[in-house]
Amino acid sequence: MLMISRRKALLGTASLLVAQPGLAMAQANGGMLARLRASKVAKVGIANQPPFSSLNPDGSMSGVAPSMAKAVLERLGIPNMQGAVASYGELIPGMLAGRWDFVAASLTITKERCSQVLFSDPLSFEGPCIVSVKGRVSENPRTMADMIKFNLRIGVNAGGAQLRALMDAGAKPDNVSQFQADPMMFDALLANRIQIAFLSHLPATAIIRQRKLDVDMVFPVADARAPGAGNAFRTQDVEFHEAYQKELRALKSSGEFVAISNRFGFEIPPELIGTTSSQLCENVSAAK
């Protein structure tokens, strides 16, 4: 089972402000947008969590976030993307270190991340669910508070939003195991190495359907909100971010945004289509 240590994910933010010298040089040569238009290719970081984002065996990418990014980049005159897979906790540090140009995953918009990066407007609103094997847990939890109160062993995505939510709610680090991919989390659940899988609802539903699993699922989770998630950019790439936002909003106006979302099973309520990253960052900051 491939896992990363809890200590690495919880303390890894210390490296967020360390950037490679080559990045500063690239930025000085006309800015990110000009450089990408000249090279015709953007290097992007994604997570391996379909249908949000994934890397295919042939090197192409799939999922709602990279597909949306591809549509935006084509409008900006950047026809190609090269993808690299990392855990959610590694995506921002990797971008700041210059390993990729921006994050084309569906990265949850949180207070901490809003202080580190620029976000695109949200691409999805997807809440977490609680999954357990039927009959294995004596008291079935329905909230994060229940999972913590019952002292259950919980699986989450490495460095992801569910990890932060559990830590903020007071979960014991020793009770939380982190996994690089959802299928690995389900393998651990079925093998009883964890008692609960706490992950996004849509990927969980897809795995349960594919494997024909007999499990209990709680969704929505009353004390776990369904936050917005978007692509992320370095704070110095203001011109690139503004151009990206303009074309993303054009996709929303044309209906192409909804078509791409529906292709991967996402349905965003019409009243949320116009939600901006600025609004979400202000809301999460005010909530803390």
Mean pLDDT, rounded, for 224-228 = 84
Write out the E strands in 112-159.
Answer: 118-119, 124-125, 128-133, 154-157
Please give the backbone phi and psi of residue 109, each rounded to the nearest 5 degrees, phi first. Answer: -85, 110
Burial class (CB in 10 A: 0-12, 13-18, 19+), 141: buried
Mean pLDDT, rounded, for 71-100 = 97
Residue 12, pLDDT > 80, answer no
Closest CA to 215 of 193, 189, 191, 181: 189
Residue 127, pLDDT > 60, answer yes
Q: Are 80 and 44 in contact (CB under 8 A)?
A: no
Domains within the chain, CATH numbers bracketed: 19-125+228-267+277-287 (3.40.190.10), 128-218 (3.40.190.10)
Q: How confident is the model at residue 138 (pLDDT cuts 50, 70, 90)?
A: confident
Please give the backbone phi and psi of residue 187, each rounded to the nearest 5 degrees, phi first. Answer: -60, -45
What does the alpha-carbon distance between residue 113 and residue 116 come to, in Å, rounded to a whole number? 5
- Torsion angle (degrees, nearest 10) of CA 132, 183, 114, 59: -170
Q: Are 155 and 197 in contact (CB under 8 A)?
A: yes
The dihedral sign for the CA sequence 217, 132, 110, 88: negative
Q: Residue 8's pLDDT is what? A: 40
Chain centroid to CA 200: how far? 10
**Residue 230: strand pairing partners:** 107
Predicted confidence (pLDDT) per residue in 240-264, tens digit = 999 999 999 999 999 999 999 999 9
Which secondary-structure segment (H or E) carries 249?
helix 238-254
Residue 270, pLDDT > 70, answer yes
Q: Are 101 and 231 in contact (CB under 8 A)?
A: no
